[in-house]
């Protein structure tokens, strides 16, 4: 198993949401540093968007399936704000470094083109 991060994009560039699912299984449950790092980055981005921007979002979290889905509620009409975009790009930068350091066996990041957000 691995962590799969899917970034939903409209017009190949406009981020309108993301999904994180799975477990890295790099280490025992509760001691898996890859899962811990991913979780920290993802929740920090979500919490930062809620606390530091006016960007409306909704998210769902299922800890048993290791699944987090975050949607930008205005993305179907507008591009997300610069502050939210910077926070998401920062999250993705951190996640890509984890992927580079630990390998795609444990974490994989993909973009998915969507028509509607």
Helix axes 33-52, 82-102, angle to 10 degrees: 170
Q: Is 35 a catalytic residue?
A: yes
| Residue environment code for 27-53, b if the CB has 16+ CB neighbours within 10 A, otherwise e | eeeeebebbebbbebbeebbebbeeeb
Residue from 16, 35, 70, 117 carrying the catalytic annotation: 35
Q: Is 117 a catalytic residue?
A: no
Residue 5 β-bridge partners: 20, 109
Residues with active-site annotation: 23, 35
């Amino acid at each position: 198993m691995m962590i799969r991060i899917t970034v939903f994009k409209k017009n190949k560039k406009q981020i309108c949401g993301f999904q994180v699912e799975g477990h890295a299984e790099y280490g025992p449950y509760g001691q898996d540093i890859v899962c811990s790092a991913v979780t920290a980055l993802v929740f920090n981005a979500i919490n930062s968007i809620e606390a530091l921007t006016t960007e409306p979002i909704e998210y769902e979290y299922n800890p048993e399936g290791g699944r987090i889905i975050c949607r930008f509620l205005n993305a179907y009409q507008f591009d997300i704000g610069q502050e939210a975009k910077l926070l998401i790009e920062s999250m993705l930068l951190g996640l890509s470094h984890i992927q580079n350091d630990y390998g795609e066996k444990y974490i994989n990041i993909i973009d998915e083109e969507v028509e509607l957000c």
